[in-house]
Structure 1
Amino acid sequence: MTFASGTVAERLRQQPGVLVANGTETILLAEGDKSPFQSGKTFQIEEAEGQFAPKGNIVYANIPVDSNARSLLFHRLLKDKSRLGSGHSGFAAYRLGVDPEDNHGVVFIQFTEGGNRFRDSTDYILFQEWLKEAVEQKGAGPIIKHYVVDATDDL
């Protein structure tokens, strides 16, 4: 799994197999062996459920943690997948990834609809709390962003 933003995203926007989303910045996602990206940040997927859809919205979290804190966080999230949106109306997919260079984690969650309802839920509040707890040792907070894919569920 890899993603890009800015001018790189603009160049790759028309490539097949790329999911384009707009938020506070542009993000493009691609999975599998046939990535259109020649370079950029790549994440190894540790856990996955569902398939990304061409429309919907994405919750993206970048979690600057060491490998132990990331493993514990992912274990907690997988033990109760409702924190990842699974089981919520409109849930499409999630990906838990790791940066092989520094071991920090990333989480992508996509909804085809109902993203606002998930963000208003207790599960989302606990998701945010668990991310904050995981990064406490590093002294920095998680970066959580929301993106809309083809504006079907305006966040």
Structure 2
Amino acid sequence: MPSEPNCVFCGIIAGEIPSTTIAQRETAIAFMDINPVTHGHALVVPRSHATDLFDVTAEDLAACVHLAQEVAGRAKERLGADGVNLLNCTGEAAWQSVFHFHIHVIPRYENQPGKDAIGLPWVSAPGNPDEIERIGNLLS
């Protein structure tokens, strides 16, 4: 599958960069976001490199959306999420920071301080690696 040598997500897909992978399919993969904005924030990406929404194939987009739906269901069932946002940022003006198409799966929580602190645009901060792995294991 096509990849880019300096792309962090291509590195994750190739196993060169560590991640907490929670689901894998033939053309898509889901892993925990290392800068989570909510409890259980995950990313879904196509295995083939595509820069953004305008570059991704219809087949890979469909695979990513299907996998995002599955991950969202796990967040509801296993983490107690009250809702979920699916978010794609395409282009710098939309706050895209990694130029490999991806969908954010962002679990949302009502009346649960500390689990939901999202605003758009959000300010990301490094998450606790142990907590990210623990949550990733719950979603795997």
- TM class, shorter-chain normalised? 0.3 to 0.5
Give the strand-richer structure, 1 or 2.
1
The structure with the larger Rg is 1
TM-score under structure 2 length normalisation: 0.34
TM-score under structure 1 length normalisation: 0.31
